[in-house]
Structure 1
């Protein structure tokens, strides 16, 4: 028999605030399905929805002292979920923009065949740039972008904070972009000198 059976949500929250981990389980069980569906409808990604739901309940435990037991718990829970999802989506959008910039490194000087880098050369440049990354940066980038791991899982595997994973990804993308821009400048200069 569940020892928290018959407890109201308010009572469970009060227990939670008293560092009672067991009180988190019934709150989780009461809300997990609906919350997952809510996030899934917005994100359209099952994996992302699962990650967000787990993160929300971790945040709930971490911020248990700030919960007002007199306010509707569902509203509080969904507000955390929405904020967390929006932050994740903004981060993904930011990284996608940086990756798009990296892909646009074919110089827009004149559309001659000499100046076009084909797909294989582009990939080779990106691979070269990845090899030049500092060790932690490279480890994070490969796990996130090559192996498709979530920031949370990378953080757990490498024993670092999720924020550090994000910072290392931003750094890696910046270094790759700079490396590619530098290589392109050299390539452009060589093509230019060859024609004179």
Structure 2
């Protein structure tokens, strides 16, 4: 019987490329905690760090057939996490910039009325993009964000695993970020 914990990273990657779930599990066991700590030390947010590392492993599994064994697989994993952390930090800085600018936008009655109109327009755009999500992803996302159910409650209600629920929410957010990113940018530029 093959002992996965005694295999090198390169051997595990080769097995992973063939769809070997045990090789994937060993890579996960070997690196999850280290990568989580690496992400958490930068982000200081447990859930965000955990989601980021889960996204990496989801990416690894979905791209397993095209993975090219690297001479230093751990560097590949750390680089992937570092890049996503830097993206998350940059995104937070943009959010803070908009949050800081918001009070200036809402000065006066006219600006407040205009803001409410834009808020409704933006809500309609966001709702439209949510309706465009695949049915199961949309259902999970709405239960999470609109009904404020926990991942565990959603999993029990829909007879899914918590990991599936987390993946649906994460993927929905990813799709919405991609679809809404440019729209929000243009919305704020043209409606200052």
Structure 1 residue matching 2:69: 3-state secondary structure: coil
Distance 1:91 1:154 in 2: 21
* TM-score, structure 2 as length reference: 0.63
Question: 1:98: how far off?
Answer: 3.5
1:54-89 C-alpha deviation (Å, 9 max, x unpaired): 1111222234323325x1221111011101111222
Query: Which 5+ residue runs of structure 2 have no aligned equivalent?
Result: 131-140, 149-164
Q: 2 CA distance for matches of 1:155 and 1:5? A: 27
Shift, 1:105, TM fit: 1.6
Q: TM-score normalized by structure 1?
A: 0.62
What's the CA shift for 1:94? 2.6
1:173, 1:160 → 2: CA distance?
19
Structure number with larger C-alpha Rg: 1
Answer 1 or 2: which has greater helix percent: 2
* Aligned mates of 1:132, 1:54 — CA distance in 2: 33
List structure 1 runs of 4+ shifted beyond 6 angstroms. none
> Aligned partners of 2:82 and 2:170: how far apart in 1?
27
- 1:150-185 deviation line (CA, Å, top 9, x unaligned): xxx899359757244333144236435644x4xxxx
Equivalent pairs counted in the alignment come to 160
Whether contact under 8 Å (1:56, 1:81) holds in the other structure is yes
**What RMSD, in angstroms, separates the aligned Cα atoms of the two structures?**
3.8
Written as runs of structure 1 = structure 2, the 5 A alignment for 1:55-94 is 55-64=55-64, 65-69=66-70, 71-94=71-94
